[in-house]
């Protein structure tokens, strides 16, 4: 049996290399391309013909949906089967991905062994056979992450209809899964969230700031003290967006670690 030709596109270089190293070591696979953004991927797809493409949903310059749209419009000799992955699972996004031709939708973080089997299954399937509803693969350790983050933010008396609520929730979820993002708040985290919610980085930052100020003005002082380790008063001030996200993400990671012991 010929090796499955695999393409990998993710703007997280470390994660991209982890995938490449893992699949390069598997005899069933041959990694034929890697890319860090949508435009780079399109250029590579003109020269390479992967059987299966692992595609990050959120990338700079051109995102995963943009790449899917491009693939759908092209008359390529051979189009790859596509597995999209993302830290989010919004129903309207997954439905749009299906309409554009995605075969599987995987929620980060995921088990590489499960992903390997899904790639083999998809590569062996009849050409053009699409899975109508995307399948979500996730680490059971994080099954309740979205709800747990939302519950914490709610305890701070930040209304759920505030845009800042959704932006902070997304930022904390991503930082739990990829801690290094907290060191790239303005260069990576804000832009990713802005693209996901179809807005801009300045609005993301301002909405988060307003939500945090609301928590400090209307939240329970004891809860704030428990979460952030100091009493709330005007002299000590409010945490920055980054420190707010980091503190809650660190707390959640520690809780998950303790549960695993």
Angle at 216 between CA 215 and CA 222, to 5 degrees: 90
Structural domain contains residue 138: no
How many independent structural domains does the chain possess? Answer: 2
- 102/189 same-domain check: no
Distance CA 157, CA 207 (A): 15
- 120/161 same-domain check: no
Last residue of a domain, one of 73, 96, 124: 124
- 14/55 same-domain check: yes
The residue-averaged pLDDT of 29-55 equals: 93
- 30/72 same-domain check: yes
Structural domain contains residue 135: no
CA end-to-end distance (rounded Å), the chain: 42
Structural domain contains residue 137: no
Name the percent of the chain lying above pLDDT 90.
26
pLDDT digits (tens, 9 = 90+) for 46-85: 889 999 999 988 888 888 889 999 998 987 778 899 998 8
The residue-averaged pLDDT of 122-148 equals: 56
CATH of the domain at 231: 1.10.10.10
Instruction: Write down the pTM of the prediction.
Output: 0.55
Structural domain contains residue 71: yes
The DSSP line for the chain is -PPEEEEEE-S-HHHHHHHHHHHHTSTTEEEEEEESSHHHHHHHHTT---SEEEEESS-SSS-HHHHHHHHHH---SSPPEEEEEES---HHHHHHHHHTT-SEEEESS--HHHHHHHHHHHHHSPTT---SSPPP---GGGTTHHHHHHHHHHHTT--TTSHHHHHHHHHHHHHHH-GGGGGGIIIIIHHHHHHHTTS-HHHHHHHHHHHHHHHHHHS-HHHHHHHHSS---TTT-PPPHHHHHHHHHHHHHHHHHHHH-
Closest CA to 72 of 96, 91, 56: 96
Q: Give residue 195's domain range.
A: 144-260
Residue 229: per-residue pLDDT: 64
Residue 138 above 50 pLDDT? Answer: no
- 149/212 same-domain check: yes
Distance CA 103, CA 261 (A): 36
- 114/29 same-domain check: yes
Last residue of a domain, one of 73, 95, 124: 124
- 150/119 same-domain check: no
54 touches 83 (CB < 8 A): yes
The residue-averaged pLDDT of 198-224 equals: 85
- 151/255 same-domain check: yes
Structural domain contains residue 68: yes
Structural domain contains residue 199: yes
**Residue 29 forms beta bridges with which residues?**
4
74 touches 103 (CB < 8 A): no
- 151/218 same-domain check: yes
């Amino acid at each position: 049996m010929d090796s499955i030709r695999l393409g990998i596109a993710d703007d997280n270089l470390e994660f991209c290399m982890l995938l490449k190293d893992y699949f390069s070591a598997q005899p069933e696979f041959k990694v034929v391309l890697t890319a860090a953004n949508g435009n780079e991927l399109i250029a590579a797809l003109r020269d390479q013909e992967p059987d299966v493409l692992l595609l990050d949903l959120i990338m700079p310059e051109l995102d995963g949906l943009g790449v899917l749209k491009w693939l759908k419009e092209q008359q390529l000799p051979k189009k790859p089967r596509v597995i999209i992955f993302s830290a989010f699972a919004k129903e309207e996004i997954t439905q749009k991905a299906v309409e554009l031709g995605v075969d599987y939708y995987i929620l980060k973080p995921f088990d590489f062994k499960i992903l390997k089997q899904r790639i083999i299954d998809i590569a062996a399937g009849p050409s053009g056979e699409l899975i109508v509803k995307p399948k979500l693969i996730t680490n059971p350790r994080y099954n309740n992450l979205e709800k747990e983050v939302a519950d914490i933010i709610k305890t701070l008396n930040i209304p759920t209809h505030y845009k800042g609520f959704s932006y902070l929730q997304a930022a904390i979820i991503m930082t739990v899964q990829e801690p290094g993002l907290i060191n790239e708040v303005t260069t990576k985290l804000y832009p990713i969230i802005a693209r996901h919610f179809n807005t801009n980085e300045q609005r993301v930052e301002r909405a988060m700031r307003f939500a945090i100020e609301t928590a400090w003005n209307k939240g329970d002082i004891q809860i704030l003290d428990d979460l952030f380790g100091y009493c709330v008063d005007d002299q000590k001030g409010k945490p920055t967006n980054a420190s707010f996200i980091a503190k809650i993400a660190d707390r959640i990671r520690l809780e998950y670690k303790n549960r695993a012991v």
